[in-house]
Chain A
Amino acid sequence: MVVPSLKLQDLIEEIRGAKTQAQEREVIQKECAHIRASFRDGDPVHRHRQLAKLLYVHMLGYPAHFGQMECLKLIASSRFTDKRVGYLGAMLLLDERHDAHLLITNSIKNDLSQGIQPVQGLALCTLSTMGSAEMCRDLAPEVEKLLLQPSPYVRKKAILTAVHMIRKVPELSSVFLPPCAQLLHERHHGILLGTITLITELCERSPAALRHFRKVQILRLLRILGRNHEESSETMNDLLAQVATNTDTSRNAGNAVLFETVLTIMDIRSAAGLRVLAVNILGRFLLNSDRNIRYVALTSLLRLVQSDHSAVQRHRPTVVECLRETDASLSRRALELSLALVNSSNVRAMMQELQAFLESCPPDLRADCASGILLAAERFAPTKRWHIDTILHVLTTAGTHVRDDAVANLTQLIGGAQELHAYSVRRLYNALAEDISQQPLVQVAAWCIGEYGDLLLAGNCEEIEPLQVDEEEVLALLEKVLQSHMSLPATRGYALTALMKLSTRLCGDNNRIRQVVSIYGSCLDVELQQRAVEYDTLFRKYDHMRAAILEKMPLVERDGPQADEEAKESKEAAQLSEAAPVPTEPQASQLLDLLDLLDGASGDVQHPPPLDPSPGGALIHLLDLPCVPPPPAPIPDLKVFEREGVQLNLSFIRPPENPALLLITVTATNFSEGDVTHFICQAAVPKAPLRLKLRLTYDHFHQSVQEIFEVNNLPVESWQ
């Protein structure tokens, strides 16, 4: 005896009546148990109802895989009710991944050839929704037969099923190409529509099919046909122009057709006049009150801006208006388009608009807007001063969103414009005095104040109101930056170096600066500590060299970031060699000896990565390469050697612009009373796994020391 089961609608009511998620789960689990039992018992009468219920709970997210085989049974049944639900189940529960899906191929084949239209419809629908490549191959002949059947209902479905089959199995194109010519002559809209889709699909896949369909006058097809084909394009020009002007745009459908026309014009090789027509249609769309239409207009204009620049330029004012859109996806499009429209003649006006936008735009657009403005400024800046002002404005408005190289770019720009040094340092000082939180701005300002502090104090500059700044104020500001918890370590490095440079630019005594420098000698941040110690040493032991080392940067011509880096580095290297000997010897060309250290486990001979074992080599820091902000997750330092007060530390950095690179700095420190002389440190790095072999030789306490050891415990973070 079969227990009467719940009707579908009753189950739905019960589920909806559940007050909590847990309750709902309970109801469903109970019902699923019934359904499972019913499936096991093989009850044919209620099977369709059980599956329907299962499909409902499946939509709510519950598992329904045990219904898959039931779909097959229902499809094979002769009752239409069964087939309807069975096919629906197949479309929802079966897919290519399950082997079970192939089992319905036979049923579909039968249903396709048995002549009851709704049943054929179901089969075709299912095939076109979830038919896998194998199924399509198997059933292609059946579908082909149906293409030329009398019933339009079946034919239109067969045609679209053919489209799906070609997408799955492109070789089937040859099967479905021949019937197309005949199908095109049909009157029935559904058939024509399907045929055009089919032809479109065929032509997209094979240029050979193009030959057959020259004179078809349907828009979407035109687009494909006209692609790269001169003759067809000419025929279409008039037609498209007609369609464009005669379409009624009072309803969305009309606009959709017009839009399709525009898309077609964009894709084929149209005459220039036609393209201008397309741009103008889009321009009109921009003024439409429906924001969907404005959106598609902006998107399409973006595609056209490169090829039809002057035509799009005519609509610039409207585009700029769209920056004020409240909808973020529209304003983003408007931003991209506006940036693409900037040229040397409109740069000032456009920049004004864009900078106003930057101040009020949503946060996720800030970064793009800022870098867009900076890029455009670089390409089209009318004067250097305008350029500096623009960058300054961006840094103050959206400082945290600019790219890392903005700092380097600005310092180079300023450095290269001698006539603007006074102006720049003044403006930057004012900006810094107001706000020390925006890191890129602070870094540039600190650098500038360090370099041109003397100009700042000189007091006169025609372009800004005269500003009286005294030394103490400047030092106080830099100290504030140094101490602020908002300052990144890199920023503090800039500030410290700037303070140091001021020791030669300012007239007063340097006690204040010396104090700061010596305080930071015990700073926890290794980088800062190192600098401070070096600067302190400069004061104490090498004061005679201080002025030379802290000289102003030579003017660099901006012919490209790479060239500048190299130019700077070579100048620094030249100055380095003038440096007095420090208590270690720089690592000479002893690469060959280093290879001895490798134990031969890694077969091939590799040159070790450049290391910096001697504190002397770290003089480079004094001369201030544009500082790259440190990587987000600092790798912990490692102490690798200690003997009688001589210590060796490793610190690790991944440069942000090249995260695949790992820079290891070896710092040797002598805490003992006795001097260390003739210090030589050599290192070898076998490629994998990452470890370090070090050899030290030095004289200490009148003894020659030689140590060879391996560092195996490199921190995990350095491995990636």
Chain B
Amino acid sequence: MQFMLLFSRQGKLRLQKWYVPLSDKEKKKITRELVQTVLARKPKMCSFLEWRDLKIVYKRYASLYFCCAIEDQDNELITLEIIHRYVELLDKYFGSVCELDIIFNFEKAYFILDEFLLGGEVQETSKKNVLKAIEQADLLQEDSKPRSTRLHSCVKS
């Protein structure tokens, strides 16, 4: 996979994961053009389109578009499965995920993605393992909070 973009129906970017090195300017240009192209698609059209020399696989979940760019030899149907699996992971983590969850917790969305894909390839097929890894990392993050804040929250409760 070369990159994955998440954007809303108004074209606002919610997540951008790039697996190829590109300048900021290029990324912005690609994002702008691709978002326009995908948003222009009618609802009944198929999930694949050819854009520049890449294959684009996209799917809409509620108000969010999940859009991946894959290479010529990659399997489009598998990419659809990958997108679906990512949505399932988000859903499990946030509990009935909606766009707002991803907006307010965008770092978490990235962390989850990074446990599922690495360098553009699938690293873990088991949903359980991915979520377990995130849980562990979250715990570690809790532990590393400075003592004063933790005490403070204890006193409050």
Residues of A that sit less than 8 Å from B by CB: 9, 12, 16, 45, 52, 55-56, 59-61, 79-82, 84-85, 88, 92, 95-97, 116-118, 121, 124-125, 128-130, 132, 153, 156-157, 160-161, 163-164, 189-190, 193-194, 197, 252-253, 255-256, 259-260, 263, 291-296, 326-330
Contacts and interface: CB of A to CB of B under 8 A. Distances in A.
B107 A88 contact: yes
A118 B104 CA distance: 23
Given A12-B104, A79-B144, A163-B119, A95 B125 contact: no
A59 B13 contact: yes
B16 A59 contact: yes
Contacts of A329: 45-46, 48-50
A256 B78 contact: yes
Contact of A193 (B47, B107, B115, B125): B125
A278 B112 CA distance: 37
B107 A52 contact: yes
B142 to A, nearest CB: 9
B81 interface: yes
B153 to A, nearest CB: 14
Given A96-B21, A190-B126, A193-B125, A160 B48 contact: no
Contact of A85 (B18, B23, B107, B125): B107
B140 A118 contact: yes
A263 B75 contact: yes
Interface range, B side: 35 or more
Given A84-B111, A130-B21, A253 B46 contact: no
Given A160-B123, A256-B77, A61 B28 contact: yes
A128 B119 contact: yes
Interface in B88-105: 103-104
A61 B14 CA distance: 11
Given A118-B137, A129-B18, 15 more contacts: A12-B104, A59-B106, A60-B12, A84-B137, A118-B133, A121-B137, A129-B19, A130-B21, A161-B119, A163-B121, A252-B80, A256-B81, A260-B78, A294-B46, A295-B48
Contacts of B122: 193
Nearest to A162: B119
A328 B12 CA distance: 26
Nearest to A92: B16
Contact of B143 (A80, A117, A130, A189): A80
11 contacts: A59-B16, A59-B106, A84-B107, A85-B107, A95-B22, A96-B21, A132-B21, A190-B124, A291-B44, A291-B46, A330-B46
B137 to A, nearest CB: 5
Contacts of B52: none
A197 B137 contact: no
Given A59-B14, A263-B75, A80 B118 contact: no
Contact of B46 (A85, A117, A189, A327): A327
Contacts of A263: 75
Nearest to B49: A329
B119 A292 contact: no
B107 A95 contact: no
Nearest to B21: A96
B157 to A, nearest CB: 19
Given A164-B119, A296-B48, A326-B44, A260 B28 contact: no
Contact of A9 (B17, B22, B23, B104): B104
Contacts of B118: 124-125, 128-129, 157, 160-161
A259 to B, nearest CB: 5
Contact of A190 (B42, B107, B123): B123
Given A96-B21, A329-B46, A292 B129 contact: no
Contacts of A189: 124-126
B115 to A, nearest CB: 8
Contact of B121 (A116, A194, A252, A259): A194
Q: What 6 A-B pairs come out closest when comparing CB atoms?
A: A128-B119, A256-B77, A164-B119, A160-B118, A80-B144, A291-B46
A161 B117 CA distance: 11
